[in-house]
Amino acid sequence: MDRKQPAVISVATTDATASEVGELRSQVRLLTSQNNALKRELANTKKRAALSTTAAPPAKKAKTAGQKKKLFEKWAKALMRESKKQKITNGGFGPDIFDVKVKETTPLCDADFHDLFDGYGTKVQPTPENKPTSVTTILRFTDYDSIREFFAAAGGGANIPEAGYEVQLWRRRNFEKSYKVGLRGATLDIMTVNYNRSKQALWFDCVLWSKPYDEC
């Protein structure tokens, strides 16, 4: 009995040691997994911190009165130029209405748009009643006087003429090919401003009237 007892103790000790080793290995795997997760989180935190501490670009300065006037005068000249490209066919004896579109060729940021246009014209869109979530803002100037006042006030004293525009007059008879008769004078009546803030695109839709035949 006495000689067998040490052997029993030895087996029990071996089983206990194996169990402890297995438990320690499990703990090591768990700690290793947690450590790796902490390392990833630390790396992500450093990236976020680096991005947040990067110097932001300086805020864009508002346009000066001189820059505004130059921009508005460019639009007025573009309207005069684009009007000459329009055509009236088999008209011209009485006043004829036609549309002219003027596009701003340079992207206009949202801040510049609000600086130039806020407080002017009648807002058609977006409004609580009409497409309140639209990315396109539409402003309307319903007569020449409102257009002139807008250019003078927002455009640093810029002028946009009421008259002096021209439109092409064309004729077509039966099955004959259309031919150009000449140019007819026109006047500015209505202007609609369109601005898409997602595309930073600005354009004007203008309504003009040609002069009657006896005024040309």
Quick: pLDDT tens for 92-114. 677 999 999 999 999 999 999 99
pTM above 0.75, yes or no: no
Written as one letter, the residue type at 35 is N
Q: Which range (55-64, 183-192, 194-203) has the least confidence?
A: 55-64
| Token reading at 36 | 């790796």
Domain ranges of the chain: 1-56, 65-215
The CA distance from 137 to 196, in Å, is 6
| Token reading at 118 | 């806020």
Q: Are strands 87-89 and 97-103 parallel, antiparallel or unpaired?
A: unpaired
The CA distance from 200 to 109, in Å, is 6
**E strands, the chain, where?**
87-89, 97-103, 122-125, 136-141, 165-171, 179-196, 201-210
Quick: pLDDT tens for 5-52. 555 555 555 666 777 767 777 777 777 777 777 777 777 777 776 665
